[in-house]
Structure 1
Amino acid sequence: MASTSTSYSPFAQRPPGHRRGRLSTSLPSYSSAVQEKLARQPQPPSWFITVVVPIPGIWSRRLRLPMLNIRRMHHFSVTRFGRKRGSLLLFLAFLALFFSAFALAKRFGTHEKKWPGPFTSDPPTLVYKREDLHRIWRWEVASGHYPSRRGIPEQLGLKTSPDNPALPPRRPTAPSTLHPTQVSGITTTRGIGTKRVYLDIQSQPPDVSYPPRPVPGSIADLDVVMEHCDFSEKKYVRDCLEVLRVGAGLDNGKRVRRGRMDTWKYIYLEQPDGWNVSKIDIEGTRHHNKRDVDLDVDADSGLIKKRGVEWETPPIALNSPRQHRPYSTLTTQCDTDNPRLFHMFWTGPFTDKPYTALLSFLFTQNTGLHLRDYPENAPCRPKFWLWINPGPAASVPNPTALKDMFEQLKSNPWASPFLHPRFRDVIQFKLWNTTEQLDGIPELKDEWRSRDTLFNSGGHIISVPPNRQQSASGSASVNTASDEETKGKNQEDDMLNRTGSKSSTSYDRLSVILSDMARFVLCHRFGGIYLDADTIFLRDWEELWGWKGAFAYRWSRLEKYNTAVLHLNKGSALGTFLFRTALKNDLDFHPMTVSKYTKEAYLENLLLRLPDALFDSAWLNTEYYQRDRPPQPYFADFSDFFDTPATQGAAPQALGFDGFYKGAFSYHFHNYWWKPFDPSRNWPDLGPQFIAGERRARAAAAGTPSTSASGQSALPELPEDSVEDDHRDLDWATVLKRTFESYIRGERPNMYGEWLQW
């Protein structure tokens, strides 16, 4: 039988017959007194401990995570600094770490990635009671501004369904089995409008070379569009564009789809036979507003008011709802309540960016320029109002600003072509005056001057000293490139004096913030649709004009607004809500903040958030979404529009305008103001009608003086162009600009086959 060792070993095997729990009589042995002394001292805990976390779905395994040991840190601080001082230092260290992380999150956090927790959540913005929100909903619905079957949030607590003249009656359905007390609020409107006839739009042989113009008065059913295009429902931009172009007949003579396409039809006409507008009970609407509030015990429960302000009082004052009139019942060319105005805001030298935007408008919209005399019974032609801020955003125009503006436009080769009499009925230049515009908004005129600043972007306020405002107002002659060059370097780099963005490092942030407010001001005062200046039209907007509801579009993957495209009805209840709410929130019109306004008031459906596929088809791709099935063309970055990668460089010339996001209404190239559309021919190329402007631009590009020593005009003759001087691979931006220019020169028709004759 083997002998048993008397030395202690944790790995010694238990002898036969050993039972768990019996104490061992073995004593430890040490090789020296030093080891024995060290073994008797208490050992500090480890710096790290292992935490075992169960793995969801795999119950047989655990995830082992190392974590910092608080006991070890406490032991270290106490042994170094004493019990009281060490504990205090440890507490202060944790406190400093927490606030450092908080500060970093506030400094570098974005709207997309917020620091979680109650300390950094955005404060509420709501200033209207539930009674006022009821009035806003009922006014918009009764005015025909809600041609949608999307639901009304039940949190509003409506007790009766509003009559909706923009929606046909529903088919009878089985009554609800819920007891009235089980329903917290009405979620639908009651359609009393005209019948909808959905159109199958196709080019008819032999006219299949170009798509047909939209039918006058036709309307895009944006509910159907949402079914095929909503990113929240995992819809692809590529598939959305196909539905948009097939449903609008843009696949003229080239349709390869077979079978019934009823679910892809999204364009309809209102059939007013037997329709009676008197069914809209305006007085009943007012009565229902009062009764809805009376039925609630706590009328404003669930609404979170902005801290530090009182509810808006007295209750919101609204005019009588508008009368919804189908297009076929109009007695005039245009509906005065819904003017077809495109607005664009511009600051700084007039460049190739607004030039190309205007050209794309002429190339796509039903302006009737191909007709010498526009018939009185022709469809309502849209107009383009280009608003020009004559100086820095913080300046005040001088008394001669309007005259100075037109003189500069005449001398600017990019702007002067649009002053031609042929365009005067469809393109107009307007002088922007901030004071005049804000005084024209009834909701703001008596109070906006009491605010500290007009420049608030997402809560980031930029203060402008009064002396800066006055000093910048001395002259409005900042609209030409030569004036910009005469400024000193220090002034040019000063954010308060910038007029336009000349590079990514000298961004005119104040003008961008001003434009965030200007788009709401223009639409609320005059009606129409606002577009950012970095927008290019890609098709006729007739069907969007027919949709009377307000809309913007989605901020890429986020459920927020991007107001680069904004439709807001003239003098609407929704506009009143937005301006009064913004006034109580320091005049913040950043699209992210506007998203909060409507969400907290349950008004999001009144400002429909359309998919960005309709106006911004490349955005998801540039943020690494849907790259498995991208649309055509595929842009991994917005700069690809101006510098198309060589691997895709054959596409622009081979496919041309028809191959560029066909089906979308517009394209938004997201700034890049400093990159020319056509680097090798960076001047307007519009033919003999506008040859003087081209000569000036080409002389400036070549560094040749355009005046003689005596001061007389001495424009050089144009050199003979050679194809070898051109870029071998033309970028998408270049191809689109040259396509629009060739239409103005009369060398090709517009996208609908209409020729411009001079």
Structure 2
Amino acid sequence: MDRLDRSSKCSRLTLLLRNLAIAMVAYVAVVEVLSIYQTGSIYPLAKKRRPSSDTPKDNGPLSGGVNWRLRPQTLVAHINDAYLGPRPHVDTFANYTRLVESCRGSLTGLEKMKNVHDCLHYLAYAEKDYFFAPQDPPSRALPAYPAVEAAAPHTNETIGECPGPVQLFHTYWTGPATWRVELFVKAYLYTQNIPCSRLYLWLESDGFPHAVEDMLADKNFARFLPLVERGDIVLKAWKFPSRIPLPRGAVEEDPAYVGSKPVRRTSPDDPKTVRKEVYIADGVVRDEEDGSEWLVLTERQMTFLPVAVSDAVRFIVLHLYGGAYFDMDVMLLRDLRPLLLPPDHSFAERWAVHSHPGDYNTAVMSLAPNTSLSSYLVRGGIRMGLNFHPRIIGRMAWKDGRNEEFVMFETGLFDPIWGEFNWGREGRCAIPCFRDYGVAFLGGRGAVRDEWESYDGAPLELVQVGGPTGELRRRGNGEPASAQDETEAVKAGQGKPGPDGKYGGAPYALKDDKYPPNNRTLENFFRGAWSYHIHNQWSKHPQPNSWFDVIQKAHDGFLSGERTNPYGEKWTGPALLPYDRWPEFD
């Protein structure tokens, strides 16, 4: 009896310690989210962000009274929009092993994990090392695929033809369309292979049953309706499913599911029909008529808390449809097709620079549909009380020895500044050098300190002046250009009247502009990364000439047909309305 008592006490102690560990992980996650929202930093002890020094203390115009209608868009004389060169061939595969080892180092040593600068340099300039053409090109897998050279491009009315499988991109949203929805969609259009991609926008419909209809009537989303009609964007109602299909035989691979109990169940599709289903595991049934297997959820199991739903959506949607999932605060920077085309394209990214092999972040995530791995991850999250937090799911996969099937990419690929600050970064800073997430919104003079400290390229040419600008220069090369030089550089931009036709009654004065044009271009925005993670900050708007404003101009220039995308391609689809201007910065 004493032995049984001791065993029972040990079991209770083990259970208590496990629950405390789970609570600690959840607490750390909440603290990090709040820290990012309040300070723009993932360091919990960081001070709250103060209003930037370029915000005026009085109630006058934020641009210092200058005529913003005459503000030049940039100081760069020749913007290199096509900085990525030709788009990768439609059959290109990415070598996961090379990508992991080049940005992580060895599995045990993690020697390169904290050196984001070198990882980005490898991604930007060593494509020949990690891109390759497979022996069996996907474009030849089905006779229905058109020949690569004969595939029709997209037009105003049609989405074009893909000489190969179409890749699905998923994201989830609740509520009306905002600037952030626009940024996500336009970044997708700017970077992806349009005929070979589809964007599924999942809208929360359990609590908002008319979410799809509301989005179609949303005035901010109206600019994308031509793309909905053309088929680029598919609005999907997200409702938590009560039954999730599983691949046959997958349950037997999971030691957590044992035992079977035959029962008779009423078909949920037709209450009058009774069919025999066998419980082959806890919550898993097999239809004895056709052999199909299903994960069955009760109403009590379903959750409608926003964060919990968002965590669950990505796993369930990818299990059902496959493709890749992206949080709405992720901005795409490169064509992801080479990452998504390999048959085993199951991956996520590392949680910051945590060294544990189970510490995943699923803001960017990919799974093949209805596979043993996808069903295992879905069943695991449901078994743990619908807990799909990536680090919980990741630890489960590691414990069960399945994390090697779920590739962990380093943050340099999708979130290049997460490991740049407060985590003991090694090596040089990335380009641009950000020390918190909020600076990408800032456009004031000198608001982003030392953003070019790691830039070694040739100085960019100023408008009608030439030579280095006041910011972008080789490290150690002289002082910033004078205000007089900058004023001369923008004289060419003063000849265009504003919407009122009268230039607002005052000339443009660069020296008085709180948000002056600068030398920022998308070419130097974390080049090599496939995406940039904004990390919430949902209520913020980009100041004029901030990095996000520069990106907006690149998107609008491409979608209006005036500029190219990073692959030198022109937009041949329907014209889209530009980003709205934020009058609070006038």
Does the TM-score normalized on the shorter chain lie above 0.5?
yes
Deviation of 1:440 after TM superposition, in Å, equals 4.2
> Which residue in the other structure is 1:427 paired with?
233
In structure 2, C-alpha distance between the alignment counterparts of 1:418 and 1:208, rounded to whole Å: 25
Residue from 369, 391, 409 that aligns with 1:610 = 409
- Work out whether residues 363 and 740 of structure 1, in 8 Å CA contact, stay in contact via their aligned partners in 2: yes
Is the CA contact 1:364–1:537 (under 8 Å) kept in the aligned structure 2?
yes
For the Cα contact (< 8 Å) 1:535–1:668, is it kept in 2?
yes
Q: Which of the residues 544, 548, 554 maps onto 1:733?
A: 548
1:416 aligns with 2:290: no
Give how far 1:671 is off: 0.8
> Which of 526, 535, 550 is 1:661 aligned to?
526
Are the structure 2 counterparts of residues 113 and 515 from structure 1 closer, same or farther at C-alpha, using a change threshold of 3 Å?
A: closer
Structure 1 segment 615-626 matched on structure 2, within 5 A: 615-626=414-425
Question: In the alignment, does 2:246 pair up with 1:439?
Answer: no
- Preserved contact between residue 116 and residue 412 of structure 2 (Cα < 8 Å): yes
* 8 A Cα contact 1:346 1:388, kept in partner: yes
Write out per-residue CA displacement over residues 600-635 of structure 1, whole angstroms, 9 at most, x where no aligned residue: 110111111111110000100133332651111112
Aligned to 1:40: none
Shift of 1:329: 3.5
Superposition pairs of residues 311-710 of structure 1, within 5 angstroms: 326-333=138-145, 339-367=166-194, 381-390=196-205, 395-398=206-209, 401=210, 405-413=212-220, 415-421=221-227, 424-434=230-240, 437-442=241-246, 448-450=296-298, 452-455=300-303, 510-549=305-344, 550-558=346-354, 559=356, 560-626=359-425, 628-643=427-442, 645-648=447-450, 650=471, 653-676=518-541, 678-679=542-543
- 2:437–2:535 Cα contact (<8 Å) kept: yes
Q: Say if 2:190 and 2:558, in contact at 8 Å, map to a contact too.
A: yes
* Equivalent position amino acid for 2:112 in 1: K
Name 1:247's counterpart in structure 2: 126
Distance 2:323 2:312 in 1: 15
Distance change in 2, residues 1:217/1:621 (3 Å)? same
Cα pair distance change 1:748/1:519, threshold 3 Å: same
Residue 217 of structure 2 aligns with an amino acid whose one-letter code is: K
Task: Please list every run of 5 or more consecutive structure 1 residues that lacks an aligned counterpart in the other structure.
Answer: 1-101, 115-206, 249-263, 273-324, 369-380, 456-463, 465-509, 680-726
Q: Secondary structure of 2:134's partner?
A: strand
Determine the C-alpha separation between the residues in 1 that align with 2:373 and 2:432: 37
Note if contact 1:451-1:586 (Cα within 8 Å) is conserved in structure 2: no
How far apart are the structure 2 equivalents of 1:433 and 1:422? Answer: 21
Task: Report the Cα distance in structure 2 between the residues aligned to 1:586 and 1:636, rounded to whole angstroms.
Answer: 37
Give the secondary structure class of the aligned counterpart of 1:552. strand
Query: Which deviations, in whole Å up to 9, do the C-alpha atoms of 1:429-467 show, x marking residues without a partner?
Result: 222122xx3434448796654363434xxxxxxxx7xxx
CA contact (8 A) 2:200 2:234 kept: yes
Q: Which residue of 2 aligns with 1:164?
A: none
Following TM superposition, by how much is the alpha carbon of 1:598 offset from its aligned partner in structure 2, in angstroms? 0.7
Alignment partner, residue 751 of structure 1? 566
Q: TM-score, normalised by structure 1?
A: 0.45
How far the C-alpha of 1:567 sits from its partner, in A, is 0.7
Verify the 8 A CA contact 2:191 2:334 in the aligned structure 1.
Answer: yes
- Structure number with greater Rg is 1
CA drift at 1:572: 0.5
Distance 1:108 1:222, change over 3 A: closer
RMSD: 3.4
CA distance in 2, matches of 1:633, 1:423: 38
Separation in structure 2 between the aligned mates of residue 589 and residue 337 of structure 1, nearest angstrom = 33
Amino acid in structure 2 at the alignment position of 1:647: R
Query: SS of the counterpart of 2:177?
Result: coil
Secondary structure (helix, strand or coil) at the match of 1:238 reads helix
Letter in 2 for 1:418: F
For structure 2, list consecutive stretches of 5 or more residues without a partner in the other structure.
Answer: 1-16, 30-80, 146-160, 247-282, 286-293, 452-470, 473-516, 576-586
1:243-322 paired onto structure 2 within 5 Å? 243-248=122-127, 265-272=129-136
Question: Which residue does the alignment assign to 1:24?
Answer: none
Give the 3 Å change call, closer, same or farther, for CA 634–425 of structure 1 in structure 2: same
Amino acid at match of 2:327: D
The alignment covers a number of residue pairs equal to 374
SS in 2 for 1:411: coil
